[in-house]
A and B are shown apart, each in its own frame.
Chain A
Amino acid sequence: MAQAKITFADIGQTVNVPAGTRIIEISEKIGAGIIYGCREGDCGTCMMHVEEGWHNLTEPSVLEEKVLRENMAGRHDRLACQAQILGDCTIQPA
C-alpha cells in the first residue's frame, strides 16, 4: 500500500501512514494540538492549516467547503476530521 509522511508542525512530529488515512486517526494519539468537536465535518472545530503538500490531501467535499466558509477559513485551511492523506504534507492547528 502506498505510504505518505505527515508532519505535525506544532510538535515537530512525523508519522508514516498508509495513503487514505484521515488526519483525525493520528493527531490526538501523537499529541498534536488540533482539538476536535463533532468529528464528522459539521462543527469546524478541528480546522487546521496546511503548510506544505496542500495537493497531497483529498479534495474537500461540498459539506466541508460549506463548513470552511462558515468558519472564515483561510487559504489552505482544512478540517482534520475530513482530510485524507494521499502524499507528504505538513500541517498545524489553524
Chain B
Amino acid sequence: MNAVNDAVEILPDVHWIGAFDPTLRSFDIILRTANGTTYNAYLVRGSDGVAVIDTVKAEFADEFFTRLESVADYAEIRVIVLNHLEPDHSGALPELMRRAPQARLYISNRAPAMLKALLKPADDAQTLEYQTVATGDTVSLGSRTLRFLHTPFLHWPDTQCTYLVEDAILFSGDVFGCHHCDRRLFNDRCGDFRFAFDYYYAHIMRPFKTHVMSALALIEPLPLKLIAPTHGPILRDRPRRALARYRELSSDSLAERIDNAAPSLIIFYMSCYGNTAQMAEAIQIGVEENSNVQVSLYDLEGGEIAPFVDLIETANALVFGSPTINGDAVKPIWDLLSSLAVIDLKGKLGAAFGSYGWTGEAVRMIEDRLRGLKLRVPVAGLRIKLTPTEAELLACQEFGRALAAALVNGERGRVIDFADLG
C-alpha cells in the first residue's frame, strides 16, 4: 500500500507526482470549481535517465517533491519538460532546476520569452539553459522516447503536448484537463466529472476553436492508451472520448442547424417605454429587405446571457439597442457585452442604437465597447429623442439597410477598403 504522499503508478516506471488542491473554489478568478483541482505532474523512467513532465503550483511544491523522491533521485533526472509555463505548472520549476542542475529543460519554441519573464534572471548575462522543441522533435530516454506536438493557443501561445511513443501516453498539458479533484485519480475510478470537463473547455479552450481543430489533427492519428492532462482525472478509460468531445464542442453546431448559409445579424435591445423597441423593429424591417441576410430580434429582458453568447458566437453582425439612463446604457447590455471573452469575435460587425430622454450617451458608449472588442462598426450609431416619428422610423429602416449592405459587402472574398472598417 502506498503512503499518502507517494507517487502513483500509471504504468511501470511512469508515475503521477502531482498535487491535490481540494479546497480551491475559484481558479484564476474566472473559473469556479465545486471540489478543487489537481496539479498533475509526471515522471517517466527510461533505460537512460528520468524525465519530469510539468511541475505544480509553488505552494504545492513540497507535495510534488515528496512524491518525486519516492520514485527517483534528483541525480537521475536528465530531462524536464514544461508543456505550458503558466505558474500553476511551473511553480516548482526553479527549485527543481536547483535540485537537478544537470537536467535539460525542454519547452516549446514559443515559450522562451515567457520563461524569462517567469524566472526573471537578474540580468541578461545570467543565461537560462533550455532547449526549444517543435512538432516532431524527440528526446530519447534510452528505452523510451518523448515526442513533442506544438499545440499553440491551447490555451497560451506556448502550449505543447508530449507523447510517450512506446506506451502511447499523451501528456497533454491543459488540453483535455478540468478542475476536478478526486484522489482516485483515474477516470474509471473517479466520480462523474463530465460537467467539469465541459466547463473547463467552455472557459479555457472555447475562444481558440480553430486551434483546437489543428491540435486534434495532430493528436487523432496517434495510438492512444491514456491521456495525462495537467488538471483533473487521468483519462485511462476510453481516452478517445475526450478527443471526440473536443471535436464536438469545437464544431459550429448552430451553423450546422441553419439551412441557408446567409450571414446572420442579431439585434439585441432593452426598452423602457417602447421607443427603443420600436427602433429595433424598424431596423429589423430594413435588414429583412436584404434577402442575403438572416436577421433575428431579441429583447434582453426576456433572455439569459449564456444562450445569447452561443448565438453571438455564430453570428456575423451584432446590433445593440439601449435607452440612456443617467448617462449610461442599461446594465443588461453591459452584462452581455462583458460576457464575450469566452468566444472568438474576430471579423464580426457591430452597431448601436437607442432612444433617449435628455442626454443619450448610451449609443456612443456601446460603440466604443464594440470597437474595444475589435468589432468593425461600419455604420454610425442611431439616436432618437424620446418617441420616434414616422420619418425617424424610416431612418431606422435605412440604418438596417445600411448594416445589411455592409455585412454583404464585407463578405469574404471581396476587397474591403480600410475606410469601411469603422
Contact = CB atoms under 8 A, between A and B. Distances in A.
Interface string B314-347: 0000000000000000000000000000000011
Contacts of A37: 157
A87 B378 CA distance: 25
A45 B114 CA distance: 11
A14 B132 CA distance: 35
Most buried by B among A15, A37, A44, A70: A70
B416 interface: yes
Contact of A35 (B112, B153, B416): B153
A87 to B, nearest CB: 15
Interface in B331-380: 346-348, 374-376
Contact of B412 (A11, A25, A33): A11
B418 interface: yes
A13 B416 contact: yes
Which interface class (under 10, 10 to 19, 20 to 34, 35 or more) fits B? Answer: 20 to 34
B374 A28 contact: yes
Nearest to A34: B346
B372 to A, nearest CB: 11
B168 interface: no
A29 B421 contact: yes
B258 interface: no
B300 to A, nearest CB: 25
Nearest to B112: A70
Contacts of B415: 5, 14-16
Interface string B407-422: 0001011011110011
Nearest to A3: B418
Contact of B421 (A5, A30, A35, A47): A30
Contacts of B413: 12-13
Interface string A28-60: 111111010100000111010000000000000
A33 B213 CA distance: 13
A16 B418 contact: yes
Contacts of B109: 71-72
A86 interface: no
Contacts of A28: 346-347, 374
Contacts of B253: none
A21 to B, nearest CB: 6
Contact of A31 (B132, B157, B208, B347): B347
6 closest cross-chain pairs (CB), A and B: A31-B347, A28-B374, A72-B109, A17-B418, A29-B376, A31-B346
